[in-house]
Structure 1
Amino acid sequence: MNYKNFPMVPRVIFGRGSFNQLSEIISPKRLSSAAPFIYLVDDVFKSNSWLTSRISLSYDDRIIYISTKEEPKTSQVDTLVEEIILSTKARPSGIIGIGGGSVLDLAKAVSIMLTNEGETRLYQGWDLVKNPGLYHVGIPTLSGTGAEVSRTTVLTGPDKKLGINSDFTPFDQVVLDPELTKDVPCDQWFYTGMDCFIHSIESLKGTYLNAFSKTYGDMAFNLCQEVFLNNSALSKEETEDKLMMASWHGGMSIVYSQVGIAHAMSYGLSYVLGTKHGIGNCVVFDHLEEFYPEGVQLFKKMKMKHNIELPQGICAQLSEEEMDAMINIAMGLEPLWENALGKNWKKRISSKQLKSLYLKM
């Protein structure tokens, strides 16, 4: 048997206030005074000096604020890469992503595309990247996506939504500072946290499950239950700490296995309707009792406990063309279906079944 030699994030710092050590962490990686660090920062922090004032800029370092109103696109990566190339005297020393999963994915993609030729869309898929990316650092300000640890960067391209999945994608350094998540709105906290919960369910119930992914998946699953169901004894700080750890473990679990049906169908929603990833996963997972009965039952309890009302009827007005596109995007993610249903997955799921599920959403 051939075993996959998976990459891991080589360096990670965890703790409240650890963001303050960023400058000393990255300074040895500066290539020269002409080679800047480029900070990609969620534009929600544009007027938030509490975070931005703690970013130490030197020489030609610069901050580029990133709008997260839409899911990350391959065209957005191409635009950022061009902007960076045209505005810097030398190849940057590194890319620092500060934000939720969308910004972290963009940081990983920009790092890769600054050292690989062509358009970003050409690298959507598995192991298509030829050259290592620039030094890149991930600093999550939301907990749940697992983007800080995963070997993929999920992007919507001109004809598909699919990640750049490669051994060169994971960050070289991650800073896990739970304090950075303190101002996340309740709904967003829930949707992003459920991304982590769904990661753990899809990993633990998948056919790709192994001892490594199970260990991480179990930890993420248990932490999510603590945070979202049994949190009455936890302080706000403890909740933030535990959810950030859940996100890391959930992400690690899918590094060593794969996600499943909720993610495949959520990609379809995102491609056609522009639905944000976290809420898309929730909308889909709410209807997957047939495939993940215990997980969906727990999800519904969590939803009720936190008074979350999901959007209804989002697929009701779709044209046949749009529905077909959604189904094709979802069905095209073969590793996700194989993990969920096994090698004979095509005999267990059909376009007709997917259409029926989408029409319930």
Structure 2
Amino acid sequence: MVSRVVFGRGSFNQLSEIIAPKRLNVNAPFIYLVDDVFKGNTWLISRISLAYDDQLIFISVDEEPKTSQVDELVEQIILSHIDRPSGVIGIGGGTILDLAKAVSIMLTNPGESKNYQGWDLVKTPAIYHVGVPTISGTGAEVSRTTVLTGPERKLGINSDYTPFDQVILDPELTKGVPKDQWFYTGMDCYIHCVESLNGTFLNAFSKSYGEKAYDLCVEIFVDGNYTQEEMQDKLMMASWHGGMSIAYSQVGVAHALSYGLGYLLGTKHGVGNCIVFDHLEEFYPEGVALFKKMKDIHGIKIPQGICSQLEDYQFDIMIDVALGLEPLWENALGKNWKQTATREKLRSIYAKM
């Protein structure tokens, strides 16, 4: 679990004070990985206090994070500084937060990041790392995984050393998020809850967090009788609780299939989840029905036909990626999941998208 968290409007202003005691020496910088949408945004950037050899790196989030990108960032940081950094601070959405977690791990572990895709493969603790989400829904700020697209698969570095040491939850930072992105990322949270609450791994811990996150999603995306500030606060808490729910259980069919889309087509995670979930009535009938209602309420048009021109070998690639996520399938369908999740079944679902 994340050991320290601060919540509140304006809490981003506490960042410098929070990290100051963690500086190892004047040659050990803090590395800020920041979504490049904030490039030139003085409202946010002016509040980052760089000192000594600190480095601010703007990163495009047009594509999902890749293992090669992690390795390039680690090499860049090592070659640019005398000492190992004091810490890594990620400021952005799920892509930036996942990159920050992965970079902090790879600064202390040898080899390439692709070798750590999987469960509990990391042996050495990461350097100090801080997460500051600027959009809510992914749960990346609280999860023990960092989802990366590698040369052979899309799979997270899932370990006890992955979670942030400190998270700053400032709902003010989520203002100005485009409506479609707000919806897709919020639905990532909602789908987390549906998959967790309907999974075979469900326990009292994950259920308590999942139920709260689910209720908050309904308040936000169905009821909607709140001010913009209240909606921002609620979605940030829904994201946190949804992430906590899957930390002690697991996601399911939608995420497994979405990883296949992401690996082959580069489909952004939140969009991919929505594309997949729209066709999963067989597995989550009540959840999908409410999702369709939310989609109609907010006038969201889910992309259609993205798999219509794919060849057989491309379907096979997506199916291989999806079936490789065995814990997700076991959570969704139980220990005998292979009897239901056949290659034919997955092909038929992908063909609808």
1-side partners of 2:195 and 2:59: how far apart?
30
Counterpart for residue 4 of structure 1: none
1-side partners of 2:228 and 2:340: how far apart?
43
Counterpart for residue 255 of structure 1: 247
2:278 is the alignment partner of 1:278: no
Listed as ranges, the matches of 1:1-361 within 5 Å are 8-232=1-225, 234-361=226-353
SS in 2 for 1:96: strand
Runs of 4+ in structure 1 over 2 Å off: none
Number of positions where the alignment pairs a residue of Structure 1 with one of Structure 2: 353
State the Cα distance separating 1:202 from its structure 2 match. Answer: 0.3
2-side partners of 1:228 and 1:39: how far apart?
33
1-side partners of 2:311 and 2:239: how far apart?
36
SS in 2 for 1:266: helix
1-side partners of 2:310 and 2:10: how far apart?
47
Residue identity matched to 1:163: G
1-side partners of 2:264 and 2:310: how far apart?
9
After superposition, give the CA deviation of every residue in 1:218-262 in whole Å (9 maximum; x if it has no partner): 000000000000012x00000000000000000000000000000
SS in 1 for 2:57: strand
Residue identity matched to 2:111: G
The TM-score normalised by the length of structure 2 is 1.00
State the Cα distance separating 1:158 from its structure 2 match. Answer: 0.1
2-side partners of 1:326 and 1:271: how far apart?
7
After superposition, give the CA deviation of every residue in 1:293-312 in whole Å (9 maximum; x if it has no partner): 00000000000000000110
State the Cα distance separating 1:138 from its structure 2 match. Answer: 0.2
Percent of matched pairs sharing the same residue: 74
Residue identity matched to 1:344: N
1-side partners of 2:172 and 2:126: how far apart?
29
Residue identity matched to 1:309: K
Residue identity matched to 2:81: T
SS in 2 for 1:95: strand
Give the gaps of 5 or more residues in structure 2: none
State the Cα distance separating 1:62 from its structure 2 match. Answer: 1.1
State the Cα distance separating 1:73 from its structure 2 match. Answer: 0.2
State the Cα distance separating 1:164 from its structure 2 match. Answer: 0.2
Residue identity matched to 1:156: T
After superposition, give the CA deviation of every residue in 1:22-59 in whole Å (9 maximum; x if it has no partner): 00000000000110000000000012111111000000
Residue identity matched to 1:82: E
Residue identity matched to 1:354: L
2-side partners of 1:243 and 1:140: how far apart?
12
State the Cα distance separating 1:89 from its structure 2 match. Answer: 1.2
SS in 1 for 2:84: coil
SS in 1 for 2:223: coil
Residue identity matched to 1:304: D
2-side partners of 1:356 and 1:202: how far apart?
21
1-side partners of 2:170 and 2:202: how far apart?
30
1-side partners of 2:131 and 2:197: how far apart?
26
2-side partners of 1:250 and 1:147: how far apart?
10
SS in 1 for 2:21: helix
Residue identity matched to 2:113: T
State the Cα distance separating 1:338 from its structure 2 match. Answer: 0.1
After superposition, give the CA deviation of every residue in 1:95-131 in whole Å (9 maximum; x if it has no partner): 0000000000000000000000000000000000010
SS in 2 for 1:229: helix
State the Cα distance separating 1:265 from its structure 2 match. Answer: 0.2
Residue identity matched to 1:15: G
The TM-score normalised by the length of structure 1 is 0.97
2-side partners of 1:46 and 1:335: how far apart?
39
Residue identity matched to 2:69: Q
State the Cα distance separating 1:330 from its structure 2 match. Answer: 0.4
2-side partners of 1:63 and 1:304: how far apart?
40
1-side partners of 2:178 and 2:304: how far apart?
21
